[in-house]
Amino acid sequence: MPSNHPITRFWRAALHVAVLPVMLALAGCVTAPAVAPPIELSIFSINDFHGHIQPQPAGGIEYLATVLNQLRDKRPHQVFVGAGDLIGASPQMSALLKDEPTLSALGELGLVATALGNHELDHGVQELLRKTHGECPSKGCDWPGFKGATFPYLAANMFDTATGKRVLPSHVMKHMAGLKIAFVGVVTRDTPKVVVPRSIAGLRFADEADTLNALVPELHAAGAQVLVALIHEGAMYDGAANDPSYACPGLKGRGVDIAKRLDPAYAIIISGHTHQAYTCKINGRLMVQAGSYGGWLTESRLTLDANGKVLDAQATNYPVLQGVNAPNPAFAALVQRAAALTLVARSQPVATLKRGANRQVAAPYGDSSLGNLVADSQLAYAKKHGGADIGLTNSGGIRADLVVVPGRMITHSDVFAIQPFGNELIALTISGAQLKALIRRQLPPRREGGPTTLQVSNNLRYQWSQAPGTGVVLDAITVDGKPLDLYRDYRIVANNFTAEGGDELSILRQGRDRAAIGPDIDALVEWLSDNPAAMDQIDSGRIQRN
């Protein structure tokens, strides 16, 4: 029968009507592709630990281990990282052993990577590499069995000036929860301002944000789906360690500028350097910091889709408190070993004092009782070893208060905590005009987050004033009770960091007839032990605002 016959057309239409419901029913049984559930990732972080393995009011490696491991047990996908200055400027228990116990402890705690901090360079790149590689001199390492760091230091913006190449890796890749995550580290570009020049000779430090942004195409090409920035630079903040709104009003400093310029490809910024505790969002992106010395542990919780896109981001700073946490036995044993190895050196008696001294300045751009004490000790030491007219010391080099407990002598360990860098005292000569320019540089305006005020010996005094809407006026400068003579030379003593122009003090680089006269800690030990009146002349008032 022809295909166009009426009967044929009738049966074709009838068949279509009968089959269509069946096809529609079958189509209704087809299941849409399943949507992958969100991925929860916890990033635990610390910064500016500075070798504080020993127990303290907040922190201590044995308590940090407890808090971290308790949280880890609740998080199926987690990682532990650092934002620099994990060693350097450390208490004696770690410093006497070249921070090898700290590196071992952090490795055992499962640290995956850390940004390089400026203090990791205090003794130069080669010493850092020796320690990270676990290389020991012929006599052996100071920490028995030391094998080096099991985690890499990252410094994408630190280059060898001779070769133009990076000295340390820029990033590490980790596979977690089906995602490829890049942890990218940078050190503060201001490292040349806060590290002794000889320790960073031959190194160049590029801008943090520019460096991180330039790496984004390379990281994506390597398959990274999530980018995490570990930045040893941060912000200043007067608020609480945890802001539920993440708004953090008043947050300021270089870290904020970096965050605003950073490529949106970076999911989170883990910061350091400023020793602040905060959980903030800048343009909707988390920027966190965990205070210092292990007193806080930050957990940043990212909710991600299957492609690594951030769906939600939250953070909490957990206090590491001894009163509510039991010490981890393995890390308590590590601290006990370090304590035993350093006991004799740490316990050497220095002096019995009736009062202590505080490093906090009495007023902005002013002096502190402890800064005055240190400057006095350096001048007295220099007068014994070649002579000097004035003692100067940088506030940033004073790392702890001098605390006096009735009935207990001040020990070498107490003094070392105040000045832990092992700096050398340098005597140099500058003119009165240069000294006046140096003093003027200590006063407003100073850049946000810049160096704090130089502390001065008892025989140098100056007064300054500033009327509203006007510039600063130096009203008077006296040395040994006499007006500063702009045309005569003065012999200055300061630690090598200051003498070599640290803290933006380029004037001191112009000093003539330089002479190294001994360690700064020896000066303070001698001053306290030999001079009973040392504490009677340190009250603030050497620097006054009229």
The string of pLDDT tens digits covering residues 97-112 is 999 999 999 999 999 9
Residue 482: alpha-carbon gap to chain centroid = 42
Instruction: Count structural domains, the chain.
Output: 2
Residue 19 lies in a domain: no
Angle value at C-alpha 287, between 281 and 288, nearest 5 degrees: 120
Residue 136, pLDDT > 50, answer yes
Angle between helices 61-72 and 329-346 (to 10 degrees): 170
What pLDDT score does 194 carry?
Answer: 85
The Cα–Cα gap between 193 and 298 comes to 28
What pLDDT score does 31 carry?
Answer: 58
Asked whether residue 406 falls in the same domain as residue 304, the answer is: no
- Is residue 277 within 8 A of residue 227, CB to CB? The reply is no
Asked whether residue 332 falls in the same domain as residue 441, the answer is: no
For 368-426, write each residue's pLDDT tens digit: 999 999 999 999 999 999 999 999 999 999 999 999 999 899 999 999 999 999 899 99
- Is residue 388 within 8 A of residue 492, CB to CB? The reply is yes
Residue 492, pLDDT > 90, answer yes
Tokens representing 42 are 């916890």
Asked whether residue 476 falls in the same domain as residue 511, the answer is: yes
Range of the domain at 179: 54-336
Q: Which of 466, 482, 476, 488 is nearest to 543 (CA)?
A: 476
Residue 8 lies in a domain: no
The Cα–Cα gap between 460 and 129 comes to 42
Q: Percent of the chain, pLDDT > 90? A: 82
Residue 163 lies in a domain: yes
Residue 113, pLDDT > 60, answer yes
**pTM for the whole structure:** 0.84
Asked whether residue 84 falls in the same domain as residue 113, the answer is: yes
The Cα–Cα gap between 93 and 312 comes to 41
Contacts of 414 (CB under 8 A, 6+ apart): 350, 402, 403
Residue 16 lies in a domain: no
Average pLDDT over residues 433-461: 88
Q: Which of 242, 256, 212, 206 is nearest to 230 (CA)?
A: 212
Asked whether residue 217 falls in the same domain as residue 357, the answer is: no
Q: Percent of the chain, pLDDT > 70? A: 93
Give me the numbers of helices (H) and strands (E) for the chain, helices first please: 14, 25
The Cα–Cα gap between 466 and 468 comes to 7
Average pLDDT over residues 516-541: 92
Q: Which of 289, 312, 336 is the last residue of a domain?
A: 336
For the chain, the straight-line distance linking the first and the last C-alpha, in angstroms and rounded, comes to: 118
Asked whether residue 126 falls in the same domain as residue 221, the answer is: yes
Asked whether residue 279 falls in the same domain as residue 356, the answer is: no
What pLDDT score does 57 carry?
Answer: 83
Asked whether residue 149 falls in the same domain as residue 84, the answer is: yes
Asked whether residue 411 falls in the same domain as residue 473, the answer is: yes
Average pLDDT over residues 315-342: 96
Residue 9 lies in a domain: no
User: Of all helices (H) and strands (E), which one includes residue 203?
Assistant: strand 203-205
Average pLDDT over residues 231-257: 96
Residue 22, pLDDT > 90, answer no
Average pLDDT score over the chain: 92
Average pLDDT over residues 238-260: 96
What pLDDT score does 33 carry?
Answer: 63
What pLDDT score does 504 carry?
Answer: 84
Angle value at C-alpha 117, between 414 and 502, nearest 5 degrees: 70
For 148-162, write each residue's pLDDT tens digit: 999 999 999 999 999
Average pLDDT over residues 511-520: 91
Rg of the chain (C-alpha set): 30
Asked whether residue 331 falls in the same domain as residue 460, the answer is: no
Q: Which residue has the tokens 């004037």?
A: 507
Asked whether residue 92 falls in the same domain as residue 137, the answer is: yes
